[in-house]
Amino acid sequence: MAVVAERAFTSRSTLQRVEAGDTSVSVGIYAGVLQALGLLDGLSQVADIGSDKVGQALASAELPKHVHLRRSGGKFRDG
């Protein structure tokens, strides 16, 4: 624990709070701990919409079911 805390540039007590899932610990500390453990590459997947199936389903549910296009009253122009 002391080695991970040192590599993450944080204290052992803060590392214990990270292990407990304390939400008041800054995301920078979490990133430092992930780096110290060699897991930082996985952080980019957290906000990846491509892997968020629930978020995609919620966003799709809010889309309109039908779209009505307005027809122009004038003549069509080429060019």
Q: Is a pLDDT exceeding 60 seen at residue 79?
A: no
pLDDT of residue 65: 84
Compare 64 and 74 and report the one with higher pLDDT: 64
Do 15 and 8 form a contact (C-beta atoms < 8 A)? yes
Q: How many CB atoms lie within 10 A of CB 60?
A: 8
Alpha helix ranges (H) inside the chain: 2-7, 12-19, 27-36, 53-61
pLDDT of residue 46: 76
Which residue ranges make up each domain of the chain? 1-41
Give pLDDT tens digits for 14-47: 999 999 999 999 999 999 999 999 999 888 777 7
Give pLDDT tens digits for 48-64: 888 888 988 998 898 88
Task: Calculate ∠ Cα 36-1-10, nearest 5°.
Answer: 60
